[in-house]
Amino acid sequence: MAREERLICPSAELAEGASGVRFTLVPGGAGGFAVRHGGAVRAYVNRCPHMGTELDWQPGEFFEESGLYLVCATHGALFEPATGLCVAGPCRGATLERVRTREDDGKILLLNDALPAPAPDDEP
């Protein structure tokens, strides 16, 4: 059975270079976040490739003070918002794990294929 797309937030909640929105990817599992940068929605798993900690220094605060880079609150790694590439810090050269979304009719939606496939015993 196909999974339905899931609402992350209304489009208006994501202003350019401002606070992001955290969301659950799978119950009891990793979370994700979405921000707006370069006019587009960028979404990633909220986990630094260095130590696996969440990036935001306060809930929804992913950008460093200039608004040019995403920052990991734990060790200060900087990531390009458009690609998730770490450009400075202990995980330089690594990337954040992208989460596929789409923006449609004033909504940010998590795409069906962005979620892990259910385990065989999870299927209805």
CB 17 within 8 A of CB 28: no
Q: Integer distance in angstroms from the first to the last C-alpha of the chain?
A: 8
- What's the pLDDT band for 61 if we cut at 50, 70, 90? very high
67 within some domain = yes
Report the alpha-carbon distance of residue 79 to residue 87 in Å, rounded: 6
1 within some domain = no
Report the alpha-carbon distance of residue 67 to residue 117 in Å, rounded: 34
124 within some domain = no
122 within some domain = no
CATH (domain of 47): 2.102.10.10
Report the alpha-carbon distance of residue 104 to residue 18 in Å, rounded: 20
The side-by-side arrangement of strands in the sheet containing 40-45 is 21-24, 31-37, 40-45
120 within some domain = no
Q: Tell me the mean pLDDT in the region 33-46.
A: 96
Provide the number of structural domains found in the chain.
Answer: 1
Tens digit of each residue's pLDDT (9 = 90 or more) over 67-116 = 999 999 999 999 999 999 999 999 999 999 999 999 999 999 999 765 54
| Model pLDDT, residue 104 | 95
| Model pLDDT, residue 28 | 78
72 within some domain = yes
45 within some domain = yes
Which range marks the domain in which residue 61 is found? 6-115
65 within some domain = yes
| Residue whose entry in the numeric block shows the structure tokens 């050269």 | 93
Query: What pTM, to 2 d.p., does this model score?
Result: 0.86
